[in-house]
Amino acid sequence: MDHFSPETIYMRMALREAQQAAAEGEVPCGAVIVLNDEVIGKAHNQTETLNDPTAHAEILAITQATQAVGNWRLNGAVMYVTKEPCPMCAGALVLARIQKVVWGMTDPIRGGAISKFNILNDADLNHAVEVETGVMELDCKRVMQVFFQNRRQEAKDRKRAEREQTE
């Protein structure tokens, strides 16, 4: 894939959002929404920061995008996101009429788009979303893996410190 292709440029933006989420202690997922070659929304997970289970990168980016265009329908828009959307976010993509979603890493355990659930192309829904997967997949996986390795190490360090205090 070309380093200057739109997929790579916008996925890099989504990765920067994911890295910001990780720096804030959030699960590192970032999303960018583009319409007519213009970024109209970008966000990262903020569920912990906002104490809101719906504050996923995709939802926050959709909110920004709809405000930017003044319409809840995002016809023709493309979302770039570092991880396959969960069922909630996949449903929001359908409702917002996003044309296409491009993601880096697939989530076979919780994926709502095509892996675990196939919400984006469910025949019973009134809109289908085009899908492109695997864009900068290794980079997206690495951000997620490093985040959870750090979380596990922090938990071990806390347990060790607690043991040392009781000795």
Cβ(32)–Cβ(39) under 8 Å? yes
- The CA distance from 28 to 37, in Å, is 25
* Tokens found for residue 120: 């984006």
Does 164 participate in catalysis according to the annotation? no
- The CA distance from 7 to 29, in Å, is 16
Q: Choosing from 26, 38, 48, 58, which is the catalytic residue?
A: 58
DSSP character at residue 26: S
- The CA distance from 101 to 95, in Å, is 13
Point out the residues that are catalytic: 58
